[in-house]
Amino acid sequence: MSLHPELVRAMAGLPRGVRWHMAGRARSFPLQALCAEVPAEGRVLEIGCGHALVSASLALQSAGRQVVGYDIDAAKIRSAEQVAEAVTAAGGNLAVSVSTGGDGDSPVPAGPWDAVVIADVLYLLSPADQEAILTASAAELAPGGVLVLKELDDHPAPKVAFARAEEVLATRVLRITAGSHLHWRSADDWATVLERAGLKVSVRRVHRGYPYPHALIVGRRPGIVESGQRAAVEPVPGRGEPVDGDG
């Protein structure tokens, strides 16, 4: 996906390494397919927003989205704050912060959220923490709200091997990604967790054209979305849908 021109402008003020990282990230995963799953209006939470590539893209695509992103990595959030300032100057709504999640017992900030987005974060957490975040996210969705999860699937094998080698490099050697665990699950396994949390789930395998086994797992909380108040999301095909790419 080509980046929004305002995001490119915002990135110009960031250190070169961060700029390269964001540009490489934008080319390496289906950003557009992910953004298309998020309603065009309403309150959007991104958990583990990093430098705010996804959050900023969402906010710049539609001024009707009020996007809130957080991450445990203070250095990334310093860059994300610069990005958020530029997004705000361009008419978008984006706020970012360093956080570990909710204020009280919940691991997720209180909703209701029209969408919760989690892109390539949960594999960094223990299985118990993964399930706690997904269950809490589902509970904080507004009726009709969506949980959009982007993770790597467990096939095809060559893409899995490539992705896992790169993640070990990023987390344990180069240390550009914070996270002590590496716990991958299949897309169908993620879907089962979301179904257990009460969501209606569909899976899209969106890895065509990428060296990584990208999958989007989208869970919708049952409920009525009033037309004109929040943009309806196009129905996504069911689990087992053919592989497609970003476009």
Ligand X SMILES: C[S@@+](CC[C@H](N)C(=O)[O-])C[C@H]1O[C@@H](n2cnc3c(N)ncnc32)[C@H](O)[C@@H]1O
C-beta closer to ligand X: residue 133 or 225: 133
Beta-bridge mates of residue 203: 217
Least distance to ligand X from the beta carbon of 150, Å?
7
What is the rounded end-to-end Cα distance, in angstroms, of the chain? Answer: 7
Least distance to ligand X from the beta carbon of 200, Å?
24
165 CB-contact burial (10 Å; exposed 0-12 / middle 13-18 / buried 19+): exposed
Stretch touching ligand X by CB under 6 A, among 42-50, 157-165, 220-228, 236-244: 42-50
Query: E strands along the chain, which residues?
Result: 42-47, 65-71, 93-98, 113-119, 141-152, 200-205, 214-220
The 10 Å CB-count burial string (b at 16+, else e) for 36-74 is bbbbbbbbbbbbbbbbbbbbbbbbbbbeebbbbbbbebe
Per the listing, tokens 């943009």 go with 231
Stretch touching ligand X by CB under 6 A, among 43-51, 90-98, 211-219, 228-236: 43-51
Least distance to ligand X from the beta carbon of 136, Å?
12
Q: Which of 6, 37, 114, 120 binds ligand X (CB under 6 A)?
A: 120
List the interface residues with ligand X, window 89-108 (CB under 6 A).
100
Q: Which of 53, 148, 149, 218 binds ligand X (CB under 6 A)?
A: 53
List the interface residues with ligand X, window 11-40 (CB under 6 A).
25
Q: How far apart are CA 177 and CA 159, in angstroms?
A: 20
Q: How far apart are CA 219 and CA 17, in angstroms?
A: 34
Task: Kindly give, in sequence order, each residue whose CB lies less than 8 Å from that of residue 18, ignoring residues fewer than 6 positions away.
Answer: 11, 51, 79
201 CB-contact burial (10 Å; exposed 0-12 / middle 13-18 / buried 19+): buried
**Considering the rule CB under 6 A, would residue 231 count as an interface residue with ligand X?**
no
Q: Which of 39, 92, 179, 219 binds ligand X (CB under 6 A)?
A: 179
Q: Which of 36, 72, 139, 243 binds ligand X (CB under 6 A)?
A: 72
Least distance to ligand X from the beta carbon of 202, Å?
20
C-beta closer to ligand X: residue 144 or 167: 167
Q: How far apart are CA 45 and CA 85, in angstroms?
A: 17
Name the closest residue to ligand X (Cβ). 50
Stretch touching ligand X by CB under 6 A, among 71-79, 187-195, 215-223, 233-241: 71-79
Residues near ligand X (CB under 6 A), total: 20
Stretch touching ligand X by CB under 6 A, among 66-74, 154-162, 189-197, 231-239: 66-74
Q: How far apart are CA 206 and CA 58, in angstroms?
A: 19
Q: Which of 30, 48, 109, 213 binds ligand X (CB under 6 A)?
A: 48
Residues near ligand X (CB under 6 A): 25, 47-50, 53-54, 71-73, 76, 100, 119-121, 124-125, 177-179
